[in-house]
C-alpha cells in the first residue's frame, strides 16, 4: 500500500488522542477520596455532568433489567431492596447537578438540564409503567403479612405499590403512551418556568442616578445598591434587583412613593412581562397537562390526585382548613389597613393605602406602637452570630456539635462547611451553608442533599445536607446583617437540615413525606429564634458584641402579633390560588391574570394586599410538582409546630427528654411511618389548632 506508512501514523495518532480522551477521567466515575466522600468541586467541570448523567441512566436501566430477569419468587429483598440499591451513580451525579442548577447555575448547566430532564422523565416512566416490575411488586405486596416486615419496610412497600398504581400502571398501552408524553412535557415546562423566574428575579428592576431619590433609605441599603450597580457596569449609580434583600428594604424605607410603586410592580409582575421570560403560556400548558393526567389516572382533579398521599387526604379538608384561618386573618389585616391609613391621613397624604405602601407604613406603625423598627434590630443579627445561635439551640436540645471544616471543597467561596457530631464525637453528617444571592441562584431559601442517608446491607451512608438562602450580603464596610424575617428563615431551613442530618432509616426511599408534615421540623425551629432566652444567646451587636438589651427584646415580644393579618392573608391567598388552579376540570378560557383575579376576588382579598405569589412567579407549584395543590402545607404544619412547641413550654425550653422524643419519633423517622402515627408517638395525642390561633393573636 503506497501510503501505508502515513496511514499508520494517522491511525496511531487517533488511537493516542482517543486514549488521552478517556484517560482524562470524569470525577463522577471515581471514588471520592475526600473527607467523608464529599463532592470534589474543584475537579467537577460542567462538561462532566452530561456523560455522567447519561451513564447513570444507563446503569440504572441495566440494574432494572437484572431485577426483571431474576427468576426467584419475588420477595422484599430481591424486589424492593433491589430497587433501593439501584441508581447509585445517577443519584451521586444528579444530587450535585441539580443542587448547582438551583444555587450556582449558568448557561452550560441549563443546557444540560434541558437535555437531561426529558431523559430522566423517560427513565421514571420506564420504571413506574413497567408491567413486569409491577407484577413482582404486587406479589410482594399481596404476601406482606407473611413476610415479617419492619414498620419502615412495610411503609416503603406500600409506597412503591401506590406509586405504581398512581403512575398509571393499570392503563391501556395507548393511555400509557400518552401519559409518558405528558410527564416528559411537564418536566421540561416546569424547568423552563423556574429558569424564566430566576432570570426575572435577578434582573435590575430600578436604577437611581440622583442622590435625592435615595431619601429615607438606610446607609447599608444605599451601600448595597451602589455595589450592585457597580457590579453591573453602572458605577456612580444605585441599582435594585428583585431579590428580597434588595427590594424589601426599599419598600420599607424609601420616601419616594412613585419609586416604591415601580419596584413593587416589578416584583409582582415577574414572569408576566410579555417578554422572552414570560410564564403565562407555560402555566396554561402545565395546567392543561395536569388536568389531562388526572383524568387519565381516574381522578376528579389534579388536586385529588396530589392530596391522596398527604395528611389532608382530599381538597375538601384543605379548603375547610384554610377557611378556618381565612376570616380571622382577613379581619386582622383590615384592622392593620385602618391603622396605616390613619397615619397617611394624619401626615396629610391625599391617597388611599396601596400595596406598594404596606411595608413603608407598617414600619411606621411598628415604630409608633412599639417604638421598634427593622434597622434597630439588624445590628444584632450578624449572619455568623445567627447561624451560631441556631447551632447552639441544636446543641442544647440534642447535644450535637458543629465543627467548621476548611478542608472540604465548596462550589463558591462564600459557601461554608460544618462537620456535625454527637456529644460523644460520633459522626452525624455534613452541613453546607450558602446564604448570599448570586446571579446563578434562584430566589428563596431551601434545604437539599448532596447525599441522602441510608443503611442498606449494614453500610451506613451519612447525609451531606445543604442550606441555601438569599440574605443581605456583606458590604465593603459591614458584615451581613439580617432582617428579623431573614433570621426566621435561617432557623426554618436549619430545621429542615436537622431533619436530614438526623434521618436514620435503612432505605433511601424512606425519606419521602407529605408536604403538610415535612414542614413541621423547619417551622418548629422558628419558635426558638424569637424566644427571649434564645435571643440573649445569639443577638449580639456586630460592633460591640454586647447582647441585645432587655428593652429591645421586650419590644420584640410586645410586637409579636404585629402584621400577622398581612402575613397570614398573603400566604392563605396563595394557598387558595394554588387549590383553584388544581381543582380545575378543564383549561380555563380566560387569561392567567383574569383567572387569578377571580380566585382572589372569590375569597375577598383586599386590594391593599397581593397574594404572596402571583401565578407567573409561583415557583412552588409551577417550577416543579412538589408543592402543587400543597402550598397549604405550611399552614397545616403550623398547627403541628405550634402544638409541638407547647410540649417544650409545658416543661422547659430545652427539655432533653422532649427533644429526644421529637428527634426519635419525628426527625429520625420522617417518611418511614404514617405522619399522624409519628406525631402521636411524640405528643401522645393528635394536634390541636388552638396553639396556632393563640400564637397568631387570633384568639386570646
pLDDT tens sequence across 260-305: 999 999 999 999 999 999 999 999 999 999 999 999 999 999 999 9
**What is the rounded distance in angstroms from the CA atom of residue 460 to the CA atom of residue 554?**
47
Tell me the pLDDT tens digit for each residue of 443-494: 999 999 999 999 999 999 999 999 999 999 998 889 999 999 999 999 999 9
H-type helices in 583-671, by residue range? 592-603, 619-622, 633-649, 656-662
Instruction: Kindly tell me if the per-residue pLDDT of 15 is higher than 70.
Output: no
Tell me the pLDDT tens digit for each residue of 390-430: 999 999 999 999 999 999 999 999 999 999 999 999 999 99
Confidence at residue 9, expressed as pLDDT on a 0 to 100 scale: 40
Confidence at residue 24, expressed as pLDDT on a 0 to 100 scale: 59
Confidence at residue 443, expressed as pLDDT on a 0 to 100 scale: 92
Confidence at residue 699, expressed as pLDDT on a 0 to 100 scale: 80
* Residue 387: band (very low, low, confident or very high) from pLDDT cuts 50, 70, 90: very high
Tell me the pLDDT tens digit for each residue of 219-268: 999 999 999 999 999 999 999 999 999 999 999 999 999 999 999 999 99
CB 565 within 8 A of CB 332: yes
Confidence at residue 8, expressed as pLDDT on a 0 to 100 scale: 39
Instruction: Kindly tell me if the per-residue pLDDT of 178 is higher than 60.
Output: yes
Confidence at residue 700, expressed as pLDDT on a 0 to 100 scale: 67
Q: What is the mean pLDDT of residues 373-382?
A: 95
- pTM attached to this predicted model: 0.93
Within 8 A by CB and 6+ apart from 16, the residues are: none
Residue 466 is classified by DSSP as E
Domains of the chain, with CATH numbers?
35-197 (1.10.1370.40), 204-268 (no CATH), 280-372+565-622 (1.10.1370.10), 379-558 (1.10.1370.40)
* Residue 512: band (very low, low, confident or very high) from pLDDT cuts 50, 70, 90: confident
Place of cell 420599607: 252
Confidence at residue 643, expressed as pLDDT on a 0 to 100 scale: 96
Which residues participate in catalysis according to the annotation?
493
**What is the rounded distance in angstroms from the CA atom of residue 520 to the CA atom of residue 641?**
5
Closest listed residue to residue 496, CA positions, set 462, 463, 520, 512: 520
Instruction: Specify the DSSP element, H or E, that contains 190.
Output: helix 173-202
CB 113 within 8 A of CB 191: yes
**What is the rounded distance in angstroms from the CA atom of residue 195 to the CA atom of residue 270?**
12
Q: What is the mean pLDDT of the chain?
A: 95
* Residue 594 vs residues 354, 576, 597: alpha-carbon distances, Å: 20, 15, 5
* Residue 6: band (very low, low, confident or very high) from pLDDT cuts 50, 70, 90: very low
Amino acid at each position: 500500500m503506497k501510503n501505508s506508512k502515513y496511514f499508520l501514523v494517522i491511525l496511531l495518532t487517533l488511537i493516542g488522542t482517543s486514549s488521552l480522551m478517556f484517560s482524562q477521567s470524569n470525577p463522577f466515575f471515581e471514588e471520592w477520596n475526600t473527607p467523608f466522600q464529599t463532592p470534589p468541586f474543584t475537579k467537577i467541570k460542567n462538561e462532566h455532568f452530561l456523560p455522567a448523567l447519561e451513564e447513570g441512566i444507563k446503569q440504572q436501566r441495566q440494574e432494572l433489567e437484572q431485577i426483571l430477569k431474576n427468576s426467584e419468587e419475588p420477595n422484599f429483598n430481591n424486589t424492593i431492596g433491589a430497587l433501593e440499591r439501584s441508581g447509585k451513580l445517577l443519584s451521586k451525579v444528579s444530587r450535585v447537578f441539580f443542587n448547582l442548577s438551583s444555587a450556582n447555575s449558568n448557561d452550560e448547566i441549563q443546557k444540560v438540564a434541558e437535555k437531561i430532564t426529558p431523559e430522566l422523565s423517560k427513565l421514571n416512566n420506564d420504571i413506574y409503567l413497567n408491567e413486569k416490575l409491577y407484577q413482582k411488586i404486587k406479589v410482594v405486596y399481596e404476601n406482606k403479612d407473611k413476610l415479617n416486615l419492619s414498620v419502615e419496610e412495610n411503609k416503603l412497600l406500600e409506597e412503591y405499590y401506590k406509586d405504581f398504581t398512581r403512575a398509571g400502571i393499570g392503563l391501556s398501552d395507548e393511555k400509557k403512551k400518552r401519559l409518558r408524553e405528558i410527564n416528559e412535557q411537564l418536566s421540561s415546562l416546569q424547568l423552563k418556568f423556574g429558569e424564566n423566574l430566576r432570570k426575572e428575579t435577578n434582573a435590575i428592576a430600578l436604577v437611581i442616578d440622583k442622590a435625592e431619590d435615595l431619601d429615607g433609605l438606610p446607609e447599608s441599603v444605599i451601600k448595597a445598591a451602589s455595589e450592585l450597580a457597580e457590579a453591573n457596569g453602572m458605577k456612580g449609580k444605585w441599582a435594585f434587583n428583585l431579590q428580597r434583600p434588595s427590594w424589601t428594604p426599599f419598600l420599607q424605607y424609601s420616601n419616594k412613593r412613585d419609586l416604591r410603586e415601580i419596584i413593587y410592580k416589578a416584583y409582582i409582575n415577574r414572569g408576566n412581562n410579555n417578554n422572552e421570560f414570560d410564564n403565562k403560556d407555560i402555566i396554561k400548558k402545565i395546567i392543561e397537562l395536569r388536568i389531562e393526567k388526572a383524568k387519565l389516572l381516574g381522578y376528579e382533579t389534579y388536586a385529588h390526585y396530589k392530596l391522596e398521599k398527604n395528611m389532608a387526604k382530599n381538597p375538601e379538608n384543605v379548603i375547610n382548613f384554610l377557611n378556618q384561618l381565612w376570616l380571622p386573618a382577613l379581619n386582622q389585616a383590615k384592622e392593620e389597613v385602618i391603622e396605616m391609613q390613619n397615619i397617611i391621613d394624619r401626615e396629610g397624604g391625599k391617597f388611599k393605602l396601596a400595596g406598594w405602601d404596606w411595608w413603608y407604613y407598617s414600619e411606621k406603625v411598628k415604630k409608633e406602637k412599639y417604638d421598634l423598627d427593622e434597622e434597630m434590630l439588624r445590628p444584632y443579627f450578624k449572619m455568623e452570630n445567627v447561624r451560631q445561635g441556631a447551632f447552639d439551640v441544636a446543641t442544647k436540645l440534642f447535644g450535637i456539635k458543629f465543627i467548621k471544616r476548611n478542608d472540604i471543597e465548596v462550589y463558591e467561596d462564600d459557601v461554608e462547611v460544618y462537620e456535625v457530631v454527637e456529644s460523644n464525637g460520633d459522626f452525624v453528617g455534613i452541613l453546607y451553608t450558602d446564604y448570599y444571592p448570586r446571579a446563578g441562584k434562584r430566589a428563596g431559601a431551601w434545604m437539599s442533599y448532596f447525599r441522602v442517608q441510608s443503611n442498606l446491607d449494614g453500610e451506613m451512608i451519612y447525609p451531606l445536607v445543604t442550606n441555601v438562602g438569599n440574605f443581605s450580603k456583606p458590604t465593603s464596610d459591614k458584615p451581613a446583617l439580617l432582617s428579623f424575617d431573614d433570621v426566621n428563615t435561617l432557623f426554618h431551613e436549619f430545621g429542615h437540615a436537622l431533619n436530614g442530618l438526623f434521618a436514620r432509616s435503612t432505605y433511601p426511599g424512606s425519606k419521602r413525606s407529605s408536604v403538610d408534615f415535612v414542614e413541621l421540623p423547619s417551622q418548629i425551629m422558628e419558635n426558638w429564634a424569637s424566644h427571649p432566652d434564645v435571643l440573649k444567646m445569639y443577638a449580639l451587636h456586630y460592633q460591640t458584641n454586647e447582647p441585645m438589651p432587655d428593652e429591645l427584646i421586650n419590644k420584640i415580644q410586645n410586637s409579636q402579633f404585629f402584621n400577622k393579618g398581612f402575613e397570614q392573608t398573603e400566604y392563605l391567598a396563595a394557598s387558595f390560588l394554588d387549590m383553584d388552579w388544581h381543582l380545575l376540570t378543564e383549561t380555563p378560557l380566560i387569561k392567567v391574570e383574569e383567572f387569578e383575579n377571580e380566585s382572589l376576588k372569590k375569597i375577598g382579598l383586599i386590594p391593599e394586599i397581593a397574594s404572596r405569589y402571583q401565578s407567573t412567579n409561583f415557583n412552588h407549584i409551577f417550577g416543579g410538582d412538589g408543592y402543587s395543590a400543597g402550598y397549604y402545607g405550611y399552614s397545616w404544619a403550623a398547627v403541628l409546630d405550634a402544638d409541638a412547641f407547647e410540649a417544650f413550654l409545658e416543661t422547659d425550653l430545652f427539655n432533653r427528654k422532649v427533644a429526644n422524643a421529637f428527634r426519635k419519633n419525628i426527625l429520625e423517622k420522617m417518611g418511614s411511618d404514617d405522619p399522624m402515627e409519628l406525631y402521636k408517638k411524640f405528643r401522645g395525642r393528635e394536634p390541636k389548632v388552638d396553639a396556632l390561633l393563640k400564637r397568631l393573636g387570633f384568639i386570646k
